[in-house]
């Protein structure tokens, strides 16, 4: 059907095909073989039929055979499509699972914040071209389908060669040349797609703003739906235009080539006819040769080229997957030391420097900070001071460019990352609201114990969330989203309690470091006061890091440090820092003044 694919490309597709299972592969091979052979069998039977008509012989059996072959030729189409679909879905599912695994391969968040890596992850996990739907699964199916097509070309050429070898060789060469050139020109489409994924991601984000419940309130309240629709149309026009341009360019050249080759094909038919007449070939042989030429002619003008296109373009996702494997860091270089029971003494940030990629500003410029085990430390500072970044570094979601983080004197990179993270119970300010059952929303804090309802109840009770769970239609089994049958949504304060329960459930599962990043941001005054009345009970025996802008909250901590300019500028108890009259005292009095007024 086209130029023979390289050994590596065919090998890649064949290896992917192995993930579909031997039963489906066998069925598809047999169906593709039948699809290739049946048209050739039809040619042979028509030849017999013509010969019998010319010889005044009975034609009942040839007609019956022809009818059966035509029926089978049409009947296998749906079966072949169904088997191919199942194989495609299985292989694509396998590749997307590989992409998910690869996305989680990096210990930190850096790859998921890199636009180039995000484009590659999308290219590797989705269809490469929405206009044609090329995918790794399609490439796996195509390697079998192309074998059938090549068999059909070879069979038709062999039948035609019985009358004229030069014509058979010429038409076969023309067919292969046409599809070779077609695919070569279509490479431009691939290049356009590679450079167009950022625009595609942007258009999908715009569409999501209009179609998903999260932003629905604001976009309707502010009346921006029309603006979003226009923006999406403009973005989609850019995406489509970029991809359609190379498609038109390639199609124009393919059409021009076919037009140029039409006289050659017409000449081939003339040669076949003249050879039949001049050599006094019998009617049967002439009918077979003409039909074989017609088969080659139809393959020449087959604009679909689906199988060759799938093999060439569907494997682009696999190539991208290889690139990602080389560019996303593996956690294999990390330490193996067991972090159980750590920290026993202290956590220490020693001369830590950190800046986010692409940002010239250093978040930390030689940060020195010691956190004693079993005590509570509150961290305050202005926006952008690095409060949340400090937690990310501690959890190894980001890596410092210089300096060290030590846990009981052991560099954190020498600890087994899974073991160390099990020691951390973190509630981030932008905590995730999982659209899953309430039991998962809390149980994810200790995944190995998520089925322990008694432990779930205990964590929820400590966070003040047990009443929230009891009010849900199906209790712990209720999906926390109205998008699902039987689901329910929560208020901001209720979600805050569920997130706090998740962190406390992690403590139940063995975490020893509790990190609370703005834990009362969505709570009302009474709920906040109730929570911090129990602060000592919640944090007893734990190493606690509390991040908050509310000074009524942070004053409960044993110690408070103020971050500014990438360093700790003040450190002490609430009373000591207020008495010192420095940065903390200024911020505290400024906030307190609002309530006095």
Q: Where in the chain is the domain with CATH 1.20.1560.10?
A: 7-327
In this structure, CATH architecture of domain 432-511: 3-Layer(aba) Sandwich (3.40)
Taking the C-alpha atoms of residue 539 and residue 557, their distance in angstroms, rounded to an integer, is 10
pLDDT digits (tens, 9 = 90+) for 323-355: 888 877 665 556 889 999 999 999 999 999 999
Q: What is the DSSP letter of 511?
A: -
Per-residue confidence at 309, pLDDT binned at 50, 70, 90? low
- What sign does the CA torsion over 71, 72, 74, 76 have? positive
Highest-scoring range by mean pLDDT, 58-67, 129-138, 568-577: 568-577
Do 315 and 9 form a contact (C-beta atoms < 8 A)?
yes
List strand residue ranges (DSSP E) for 506-564, in order.
513-517, 543-547, 559-564
3-state secondary structure of 134: strand
What is the structure's pLDDT at 4? 44
pLDDT for 98 beyond 90? no
pLDDT digits (tens, 9 = 90+) for 358-405: 777 899 999 999 999 999 999 998 888 899 999 999 999 999 999 999
Per-residue confidence at 130, pLDDT binned at 50, 70, 90? low
Lowest-confidence segment of 88-102, 303-317, 443-457 by average pLDDT: 303-317
Counting residues of the chain whose pLDDT is more than 70, the rounded percentage is: 89
Taking the C-alpha atoms of residue 388 and residue 175, their distance in angstroms, rounded to an integer, is 63
Distance of CA 510 to the CA centre of its chain: 32
What is the structure's pLDDT at 1? 40
What is the structure's pLDDT at 24? 92
Per-residue confidence at 183, pLDDT binned at 50, 70, 90? low
What is the structure's pLDDT at 554? 84
Q: What is the DSSP letter of 212?
A: S
Q: Where in the chain is the domain with CATH 3.40.50.300?
A: 432-511
pLDDT for 115 beyond 70? yes
Lowest-confidence segment of 100-104, 320-324, 396-400, 590-594 by average pLDDT: 590-594
Per-residue confidence at 2, pLDDT binned at 50, 70, 90? very low
Q: What is the rounded average pLDDT for all residues in the chain?
A: 83
Phi and psi, residue 126, nearest 5°: -115, -170
Mean pLDDT of 125-154: 76
Per-residue confidence at 193, pLDDT binned at 50, 70, 90? low
CA distances from 258 to 154, 182, 248 (A): 21, 10, 15
Name the CATH superfamily, with its identifier, for domain 7-327: ABC transporter type 1, transmembrane domain (1.20.1560.10)
- What is the token pair recorded at 313? 């373009």
pLDDT for 221 beyond 90? no
pLDDT digits (tens, 9 = 90+) for 222-250: 788 888 888 888 888 877 777 677 777 77
3-state secondary structure of 560: strand
Top pLDDT among 522 and 394 is at: 394
Taking the C-alpha atoms of residue 266 and residue 263, their distance in angstroms, rounded to an integer, is 5
Per-residue confidence at 522, pLDDT binned at 50, 70, 90? confident
Top pLDDT among 530 and 431 is at: 431
Taking the C-alpha atoms of residue 243 and residue 233, their distance in angstroms, rounded to an integer, is 15
Lowest-confidence segment of 132-136, 188-192, 314-318, 342-346 by average pLDDT: 188-192
What is the structure's pLDDT at 284? 82
Residues 6+ apart with CB under 8 A from 182: 2, 250, 254, 257, 305
Mean pLDDT of 441-448: 93
């Amino acid at each position: 059907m086209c130029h023979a694919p390289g050994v590596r490309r065919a090998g890649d597709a064949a290896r992917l095909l192995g993930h579909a299972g031997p039963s489906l592969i066998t069925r598809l091979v047999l169906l593709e073989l039948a699809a290739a052979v049946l048209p050739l069998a039809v040619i042979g039977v028509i030849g017999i039929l013509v010969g019998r008509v010319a010889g005044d012989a009975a034609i009942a059996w040839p007609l019956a055979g022809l009818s059966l072959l035509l029926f089978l030729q049409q009947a296998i189409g749906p079966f072949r499509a169904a088997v191919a679909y199942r194989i495609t879905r299985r292989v694509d599912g396998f590749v997307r699972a590989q992409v998910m695994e690869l996305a989680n391969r990096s210990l930190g968040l850096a790859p998921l914040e890199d636009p180039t890596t995000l484009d590659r992850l999308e290219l590797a996990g989705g269809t490469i071209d929405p206009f044609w739907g090329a995918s790794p699964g399609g490439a796996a199916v195509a390697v079998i389908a192309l074998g059938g097509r090549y068999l059909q070309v070879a069979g038709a050429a062999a039948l035609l060669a019985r009358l004229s070898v030069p014509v058979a060789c010429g038409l076969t060469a023309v067919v292969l040349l046409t599809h070779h050139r077609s695919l070569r020109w279509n490479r431009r489409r691939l290049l356009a797609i590679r450079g167009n994924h950022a625009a595609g991601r942007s258009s999908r984000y715009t569409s999501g703003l209009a179609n998903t419940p999260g932003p629905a309130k604001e976009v309707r309240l502010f009346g921006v739906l029309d603006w979003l629709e226009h923006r999406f149309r403009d973005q989609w026009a850019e995406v489509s235009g970029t991809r359609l341009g190379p498609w038109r360019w390639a199609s124009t050249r393919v059409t021009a080539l076919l037009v140029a080759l039409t006289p050659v094909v017409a000449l081939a038919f003339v040669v076949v006819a003249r050879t039949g007449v001049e050599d006094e070939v019998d009617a049967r042989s002439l009918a077979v040769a003409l039909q074989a030429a017609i088969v080659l002619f139809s393959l020449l003008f087959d604009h679909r080229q689906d199988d060759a296109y799938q093999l060439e373009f569907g494997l682009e996702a696999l190539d991208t997957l290889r690139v990602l494997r080389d560019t996303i860091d593996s956690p294999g270089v990390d330490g193996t030391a067991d972090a159980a029971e750590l920290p026993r003494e202290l956590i220490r940030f020693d001369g830590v420097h950190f800046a986010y990629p692409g940002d010239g500003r250093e978040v930390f410029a030689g940060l020195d900070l010691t956190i004693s085990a079993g005590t509570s430390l509150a961290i305050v500072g202005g926006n952008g001071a690095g409060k949340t970044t400090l937690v990310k570094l501690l959890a190894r979601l980001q890596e410092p460019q210089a300096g060290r983080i030590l846990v009981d004197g052991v560099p954190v990179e020498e600890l087994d990352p899974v073991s160390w993270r099990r020691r951390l119970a973190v509630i981030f300010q932008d905590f995730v609201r999982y659209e899953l059952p309430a039991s998962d929303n809390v149980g994810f804090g200790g995944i190995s114990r998520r089925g322990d309802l008694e432990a779930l109840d205990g964590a929820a009770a400590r966070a003040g969330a047990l009443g929230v769970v009891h009010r849900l239609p199906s209790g712990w089994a209720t999906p926390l989203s109205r998008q699902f049958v039987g689901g329910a949504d929560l208020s901001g304060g209720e979600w805050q309690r569920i997130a706090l329960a998740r962190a406390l459930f992690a403590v139940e599962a063995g975490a020893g470091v509790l990190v609370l990043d703005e834990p009362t941001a969505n709570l009302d005054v009474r709920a906040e006061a109730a929570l911090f009345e129990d602060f000592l009970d919640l944090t007893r025996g734990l190493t606690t890091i509390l991040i908050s802008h509310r000074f009524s909250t942070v004053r409960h901590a044993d110690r408070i440090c103020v971050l500014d300019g990438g360093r700790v500028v003040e450190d002490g108890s609430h009373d000591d820092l207020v008495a010192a009259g420095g940065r903390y005292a200024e911020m505290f009095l400024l906030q307190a003044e609002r309530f006095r007024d």
